[in-house]
Amino acid sequence: MLNDRQKEFVAVEKMVFRDLLKWRWERFNNKKDLSFSVPRVAEVKYDFLLKNRQVNSISWNGHATFFLQVNGLNIVTDPVWAKRMGGERRLSDPGLSIDKLPEIDIVLISHSHYDHLHFRSIQQLKGNPIYLVPKGLKKKFEKKGLLPVKELDWWESYEHEGVILTFLPSLHWTRRTLLDTNKSLWGGWMMESVETTIYFVGDTGYHPIFKEIGTKYNVDYVLMPIGAYEPEWFMRNQHVTPEEAIDIFIDLQAKVFIPMHYDAFRLADDTPREALNRLQAYMDECKLDHRTCNILKLGETIILTKKDDKLEP
């Protein structure tokens, strides 16, 4: 059961079938151009990723899946290499080959929705990682034989070899079956090391909590969703618009914005091109330096330095 404080972060308590039908009817009558392909790198730096234990790096697989190297640890967020989600085929293939990645030390799960928690992908990862999951998901991992697993409540932290990982709230919801709506938590992960702080936001709507988070942490890089927001009357609260994503970035007082969650699955009616156009237009409106927004290509790796410079591996 959620306590009163946790209920403030529930975007959806139950799905209203009437609204779902209205949305699907709108989609049927409003065809979108899905021909735009999110750019991908010509060559993934697998040699670098396999050997690197010295510098911090971020590589984007697509959607909410990142391969992070922090303080010598290999970390994966929301591992999803699935080619289909429900009845929809993936719009863009994964940027990284799961077979070519090194052994994983930590797997971070933001919530239980299928586009963020794909057990077949997790089972294909190399190594014997520790699984850090939201409170309420531990038993699902144990039943799959995925051990060791540690579940965290909001604001709880776990330290592993010099990296502090803290599970933070977001405005969202979760469900895998008809009977487990919001039976586990949802949120994002703050990763702190001596050299850098990376915030993987997970799925969220806009909420004042991000101003509070911004006062507690000195965020260098924020991995922020910008897609699955349309129609806004239906997706409001559970997914930010590109403009709200920038507002959160400003609230966090973060240094570098890296967008995600707009390229792979048609979860809503917006398109990748629309999300990027709105993001860049609002950055202009807010007079933000475009160098603070690093739009990664699929499979791209950036190296993080203490001064947050972008280098090629």
Q: What is the pLDDT of residues 153-182, one digit of tens each?
A: 999 999 999 999 999 999 999 999 988 999
Integer-rounded Cα Rg, in Å, for the chain is 18
Q: What is the pTM of this model?
A: 0.94
Q: What structural domains and CATH numbers belong to the chain? A: 39-311 (3.60.15.10)
- Going by DSSP bridges, is the β-strand pair 130-134/149-152 parallel, antiparallel, or unpaired? parallel
Is the Cβ–Cβ distance between 148 and 130 less than 8 Å?
Answer: yes
Residue-wise pLDDT for 96-150, tens only, equals: 999 999 999 999 999 999 999 999 999 999 999 999 999 999 999 999 999 999 9
- Dihedral, CA of residue 82, residue 85, residue 87 and residue 88, to nearest 10: -90
- Is the Cβ–Cβ distance between 292 and 282 less than 8 Å? no
> Secondary structure of the chain: what % helix, strand, coil (to 5)?
25, 25, 50
Task: Say which residues have a Cβ less than 8 Å from residue 145's Cβ, sequence separation at least 6.
Answer: none
Residue 309 has pLDDT above 70, yes or no: no
Chain segment 222-240, per-residue pLDDT in tens:
999 999 999 988 898 899 9
Distance CA 35, CA 151 (A): 40
